[in-house]
Amino acid sequence: MLTLNYPLVLASNSPRRQQLLKDAGFEFSVKVKSTNEDFPDTMPAPEVPVFLAQKKALAFQEEIENQIILTADTIVVVDGLILNKPQDRAEAKWMLQKLSGRKHQVITGVCVMTKDSLESYSDTTDVFFRELTDAEIDYYIENCKPFDKAGSYGVQDFVGMVGIPRIEGSYFTVMGLPVHIVYDALKKFSEL
């Protein structure tokens, strides 16, 4: 829908982010730079995804010319604790048990960078899980292998379909890209 004045580069290997951006009508290429995803221990959780999205964008700072670099980072927060991507099956199970029957927040930070500007955005969605049985959690981990997902789950996968009766906010923020924010952020680089 939007015709951008510069080539758009999505700096993410996430197939979900790529599909969402494509479905929103954007043409883009994918280029990823390995980035250290550490953040200060004292940083408040809501600031972490924007901090990491900026870090990913700034990895391109030396080589950016006439492109738009788009980066994103998503975290899951419960009781003030950030649940990152699980290291193994046991950690995935622990995370899903912690989320079971509870409300938590999913926060996605986005950064849009050009040679002359860097802008960051954040969006938060409340996600409500029903009680999950151990059998459901084990089935999900075995069949969906959520090791590349913050909080050990994808809202679009089995556990999201059967275990999330309600969300308050953007479904796409939970998937990893608040498309409504990205669209508005990229409008200023279009001919519309």
| Catalytic site includes residue 88 | no
Q: Any bridge partners for residue 122, and if so which?
A: 109
**Residue 61: exposed, middle, or buried by beta-carbon count in 10 A (0-12, 13-18, 19+)?**
exposed
- Element holding 81 (H helix, E strand): strand 81-83
Distance CA 87, CA 148 (A): 9
Query: Which one of the listed residues 23, 41, 73, 134 is annotated catalytic?
Result: 73
Distance CA 162, CA 42 (A): 35
Residue given tokens 């279009």 in the structure block? 190
Distance CA 75, CA 73 (A): 7
Task: List, by residue number, the catalytic residues.
Answer: 73
